[in-house]
Amino acid sequence: MRIAHFDCFSGISGDMVLGAFVDAGLSAAKLRSELKKLGLQGYTISTSRETRHHLAGTQLRVRVPKNIRQPHRNLKSILKLINSSALSKRVKADAAAIFTRLGKAEAAAHNVPIEKVHFHEVGAVDSILDIVGAAVAMEQLGIERVTSSPVPLGSGTIKAAHGVLPVPVPATMRLLRGVPVYRSGIEQELVTPTGAAILTHYAADFTGFPPMTVEAVGYGAGSREVAERPNLLRIVIGETEEAARAEPMDVIETNIDDMTGELFGALFDRLFDAGALDVYVAPLLMKKGRPGHLLTVLCDPWKTTELVEVLFTETTTFGVRTYRTQKHCIERESKTVKTPYGPVKVKIGTLGGKVISVSPEYESCRNLARTKHVPLKDVYAAAEAAARKK
């Protein structure tokens, strides 16, 4: 499994993320061509080799001429910009999820409804490109899992669109809830809201370097010098050979007490068509003694936004819960084996190179059982025996 570890020894910002990915091997030309699909005008992207405290890295700069005025966009307009583009489904879903995360943090920090949040700094062209560019980098480099070091916090104050704010700014602190942080002793902003939103969307764990075979290392240079340490973000990319593969997975839950079984059946079809990995319902007792159902959806992180929308449109719920977890899974492959009744597809699971699970495919076995007029259990048994013998 391809893994990226974010070593945030000097914090993180959107431009540092992109600089580090380019430094680690992401094609700057490919990045530019993908970002052009957004349809934004009047900007240029340049990269250069820079040194911070005698350590070399790549600095990525987005420049917008002062005579080209850019609007203060709200979340709705930014999501429309992303979703109407020709970017891939994964990139659009990731970028939309990151901006939604950012919008919720801004709304909570300033006590306003999310639809009234105007992003100001983070709605500017460079931040849109940083967030979408991060999603592009993850897809282009084939990153399947992200881990991160604990995050250092700066201090002091900065001038922002909302006035003078403490460092870290309120939105950043909201985004870093549940993340291990520590005091750096540096009086300037080390973690920007954009950097925090990208990091907390992707990172499945905040720890030291995970076991991996290192393939690439990239350093992304920040725009300012920091006297106490190199102002760089290090991203280490490699392959991990965990016995049981660990992958990030999102869980979506909601409690429902006013839907019929037929509606649940149709909902399952819609959720699986939209990319859900699993969907299930469990009975529960709700307030005032009402019987209800706990609906749970499991999905890849970049599918969460789309699946939440399905729940709001296809169920009676007024709210859902989401949280990030890990899925540990063995290696699997699909094969076709010969049985006395005909060919059957089977899934074979291996751990450490040893076959530990054989599972015949239900549809394949059912079709044969019907065609040959034999019990389904006999086809299952024959398929499993053939797979283990092979």
Higher local confidence (pLDDT), 377 or 329: 377
CATH topology of domain 331-389: Ubiquitin-like (UB roll) (3.10.20)
Query: In the structure, what pLDDT confidence band is assigned to residue 119 with cuts at 50, 70 and 90?
Result: low
Q: For residue 162, is pLDDT > 70?
A: no
- pLDDT score at 225: 81
pLDDT at 269: 93
Q: Where are the beta strands (DSSP E) in the chain?
A: 2-7, 44-52, 55-63, 145-148, 151-153, 157-160, 163-166, 181-183, 203-206, 213-221, 232-239, 245-256, 278-285, 291-299, 321-329, 331-339, 342-351, 354-360
Give per-residue pLDDT as tens, 96-116: 999 999 988 888 887 877 776
CB under 8 Å to 218, separation ≥6 — which residues?
19, 20, 21, 22, 23, 24, 25, 26, 57, 58, 234, 235, 237
Q: Which two tokens stand for residue 9?
A: 């020894």
Which of the following CATH numbers is that of domain 245-329: 3.40.630.30, 3.10.129.10, 3.30.70.1380, 3.90.600.10? 3.30.70.1380
8 Å CB contact between 294 and 281: yes
Q: What is the pLDDT of residue 246?
A: 64
Separation of alpha carbons 210 and 4, rounded Å = 9
* Position with higher pLDDT, 350 vs 291: 291
Query: So what's the pLDDT on residue 303?
Result: 85
pLDDT in tens, 9-32: 999 999 999 999 999 999 999 999
pLDDT of residue 389: 82
Give every CB contact of residue 285 below 8 A, 6+ residues apart in sequence. Answer: 291, 292
Q: What is the pLDDT of residues 290-334, one digit of tens each?
A: 899 999 999 988 788 889 999 999 999 999 999 888 787 777 788
Residue 84 pLDDT > 60, yes or no?
A: yes
Mean pLDDT of the chain: 89
* Domain coordinates in residue numbering, the chain: 2-239, 245-329, 331-389
Give the Cα separation of 173 and 164 in Å (integer).
16
Give the tens place of pLDDT for each residue, 169-186.
999 999 998 899 999 888
- CA-nearest of 146, 134, 150 to 9 is 150
CA–centroid distance for 204 within its chain: 9
User: What gap in Å lies between CA 7 and CA 190, rounded to an integer?
Assistant: 13
Say whether 74 sits in a helix, a strand or coil.
strand
